[in-house]
Amino acid sequence: MARVYAGLDVHGDQGGLFPWTSKMVDVGGAKQAVVDVGPRGAPVTFVLLHGNPTWGFLYRRFIEHLSKRFRVIAVDHVGFGRSDKPQDPAYYSLARHVANLDTVLRSLKATNVVLVVQDWGGPIGMGWATRHASDVAGLVVLNTWAWVKHPPMEIPWLFRWLVMGKGGWRRVVEKNLFTELFVVKGSGHKLSPAEIDAYRAPHPTPQDRVGVARFPLLIAPTHDPTHPSWGLMAAIEDALPVLADKPALIVWAMRDPAFKKDALSRWQSLFRNLDGPHKLADAKHYLQEHQPEEILGRIDAWVARTWPAGGATSAAKPRKPRTASK
């Protein structure tokens, strides 16, 4: 039988854990939800981008902490969180997600953006950032990727079988495998009943899970240039050097089965103005859930060095580049 959850409301406050309301932005054919809080006069705007199958709730501690001094925009990709859930699989593509983010940030007049990217937030965020480098003030890279050629993208066989092979679509949409296996059981952090409900709330029925099932199919393997995402991923990868001089912070979960040392090395080789990488020895893929205090501490220290005026100025003026820490 299909797994269905009754009595959950993604638009509620999740037992007080997510007290923010969301703005709905028309992105053409769907409404995209964003939390937009914090002072507009801050030097930078943090834009928080999640992956599969999470939503802005993953960044709840980030929103609470950072919005005291900065504008914070937490985006729910279409198909996730409080955003619309189109049921046509053809709606979902990497190009569409990037275009949606562009529409949202233009609609909200976001400037001096500091992207915080993890999982699919990487390709989507870097897809936007490489086209709008002048609007990027800095980058916070958590376990993610934004390439197809180097290092080679090879999808682990177990992941392929679970969510992409025969029966994979059914396991994702009917059994809600991503949430139940990867988040509830595999986050590396014991979730409370209210937290579990919050992750289940966006996708209570199989019809709501099409976006979750589509994301794995959008991963372009290196050996298949005919894949629909390959061309755009290659273009994003080739454009990454336009971000090389931006202030960057890397915090990396070392027990992540998805993004390992080769991905970390690729990010390290990109940035010339780098703080980190700061390695979290025990953290897994959803490191925002597992060790939020450690990440936020690193962000605070990085911000204090990069924009010493804190929230007192209206323009982002980063200090001179720092060398990468060892």
Specify the DSSP element, H or E, that contains 142: strand 136-144
From the list 13, 238, 262, 300, the catalytic residue is 262
Residue 106: partners with Cβ closer than 8 Å, 6 or more residues away: none
Q: Is 197 a catalytic residue?
A: no
Distance CA 47, CA 42 (A): 13
Q: Is 189 a catalytic residue?
A: no
Residue 40 DSSP class: T
From the list 84, 119, 197, 275, the catalytic residue is 119
Q: Is 224 a catalytic residue?
A: no
Ramachandran category for residue 14: left, alpha or beta (phi over 0 → left; psi -120 to 50 → alpha) = left
Distance CA 286, CA 182 (A): 9
- Asked if 186 and 285 touch (Cβ cutoff 8 Å), the reply is yes
Distance CA 258, CA 23 (A): 32
From the list 50, 65, 203, 285, the catalytic residue is 285
Distance CA 274, CA 302 (A): 10
- Asked if 234 and 146 touch (Cβ cutoff 8 Å), the reply is no
Q: Which residues are catalytic?
A: 119, 262, 285
